[in-house]
Amino acid sequence: MITCNVGLIGLGTIGSGVVKILQKNADLLGKRTGVKVVLKKACDLRVEEGKKLGLRDEQLTNNFDDLVNDPDIHVIIELIGGYSPAKEFILKALQHQKHVVTANKAVIAKYGKEIFAEAQRNNVEIAFEAAVGGCIPIIKTIRESYAADTIQSIYGILNGTTNYILTQMGEGKNYADALKAAQKLGFAEADPSFDVEGKDAAQKLIILARLAFNADISEDILTEGITHITKQDLKNAQDLGYCIKLLGITKKENNSIEIRVHPTMIPVHHELASVRDELNAIYLISENTTKSMLYGKGAGQLPTATVVIGDVVDIAKGKKEVLYQEKVPIKDLSTIQSRYYLRFTVVDRPGVLAQLSKILGDNRISISGVQQKEVDKATVPVVIITHQAVEADIKKGIQEIDALEIVKEKTAVIRIEDIQ
């Protein structure tokens, strides 16, 4: 039996989950893995939180140095989240030759290159399976199962809050009511902006793209949220044979990487369309294994804590990770091609459709279909589906259309991915 002493920093939701699992399942974990994980010390400014969990006085501290200076601690688990002081704590642990396990997507997305380099310099491991997808083993899948394969593209539902909101809106709720329901159930924060604006999904996608394509990718990627999506958009999508998901999309073609996060219309028959409520899913397309999808809970105390402990076990058993990154150009997003859903809000009078069509045509945008439902109002919605078009042309065309006197609201633009 291998004994692995751990120091835990952060007794919030996930940290408390780690304590609970080790209290309940430490013996079972040892029998299954041959590793006895011992919580040597936990660090939190609120020491009383540890006492509520049943930790002894000698297991508690409010000073991080007590963890890194303890020669008996082998692994530091960082679960405080955010950029700072998490980054500083992680680097300090690595510099003290401590292995590190973290669920911190923000710090890995922004400072991953620096952190990985520090781990290599000190011949220690940094593990972060729980940073993306909660209990979905996507990091290990990419690093291990696909080690001999070439991943071509990733499509991910990477945020449970937005997926829950869109699911509820698809069933008839408006955005505000769907958000309130998500907050009541604990899926959304009081300030949900980080989720609904797509930033959480973007951080996770950056981590996946770095691993899948061995690329050095910065945080500056196209990121759009769901706040402009209406329940009518979801109904229109359904009528057209699609559903709307907030997708993280990354592809590698001709030695360049395309990476973006935004609401996306996908066919209702696709596997990703069946992923509802707060669940996450990652759909991989690769050269050898072709298509596969992993899905499950993307967050939650015990699911995430379980994955964190799994990383500790891997490190205790001597598992080594080799991480290399190349300079791969990021594709200029103005050059990407897609089909588009365009919803215009225009005055109800003759000649309007002709004006819209002319501007789109002048910008090399071909129309695949038009939907205009008769309503007894001064303004009416007009939905146009395009053939494949270039992003720069779409932006220019929409800018010209939105400047027209006949257009009364900013045009809604949703990209369409006919995923195979």
The predicted pLDDT at position 378 comes to 84
pLDDT at 250: 97
Average pLDDT over every residue of 14-31: 96
- Mean pLDDT, range 8-33, rounded to an integer: 96
Tens of pLDDT along 213-251? 999 887 789 999 999 999 999 999 999 999 999 999 999
Residue ranges matching CATH 3.30.360.10 in the chain: 138-297
Rounded Cα distance between 98 and 79, Å, is: 15
- Predicted pLDDT at 355: 97
Given 3.30.360.10, 3.20.20.140, 3.30.70.2170, 3.10.20.600, which CATH number is that of 138-297? 3.30.360.10
CATH class of 2-131: alpha beta
Would you call 104 helix, strand, or coil by DSSP? coil
Q: In this predicted structure, what is the pLDDT of residue 300?
A: 86
Tokens of 23: 């209290």
**If pLDDT is split at 50, 70 and 90, which confidence band does 86 have?**
very high
d(CA 221, CA 206): 9
Main-chain dihedrals φ then ψ at residue 14, nearest 5 degrees: -75, -40
DSSP string, 111-174: HHHHHHHHHHHTT--EE-GGGTTTT--HHHIIIIITTTS-EEEEEEE--HHHHHHHHHHHTT--
Asked if pLDDT for residue 325 goes beyond 90, the answer is no
User: Given a cut of 90, is residue 258 above it in pLDDT?
Assistant: yes
5, with CB counted inside 10 A (0-12, 13-18, 19+), is middle
Ranges 154-168, 255-269, 313-327: which has the least confidence: 313-327
How many angstroms separate the CA atoms of 351 and 206, rounded?
Answer: 45
pLDDT value, residue 106: 95
Per-residue H/E/C for 45-82:
CCHHHHHHCCCCHHHEECCCHHHHCCCCCCEEEECCCC
Residues 55, 47: Cα–Cα separation, whole Å? 10
Name the residue with higher pLDDT: 192 or 255. Answer: 192
The pTM assigned to this predicted structure is 0.94
What interhelical angle do 105-121 and 86-95 show, nearest 10? 20
Please give the average per-residue pLDDT across 360-382, as a whole number.
90
Residue numbers annotated as active site: 204
pLDDT at position 241, please? 95
> Rg for the chain (alpha carbons), in Å?
24
| β-pair partners for 344 | 382
Number of Cβ within a 10 Å radius of residue 16: 22
Distance CA 359, CA 271 (A): 36
Could you tell me the pLDDT band of residue 351, with boundaries at 50, 70 and 90? very high
Position 331 confidence tier, pLDDT thresholds 50, 70, 90? very high
Q: Is the pLDDT of residue 100 over 80?
A: yes
311-329: average pLDDT: 89
- At 137 the pLDDT is 94
Q: What pLDDT is stored for residue 420 in this prediction?
A: 80
Which residues of the chain are in CATH 3.30.70.260 domains? 333-416
CATH tag, 333-416: 3.30.70.260
pLDDT at 298: 86
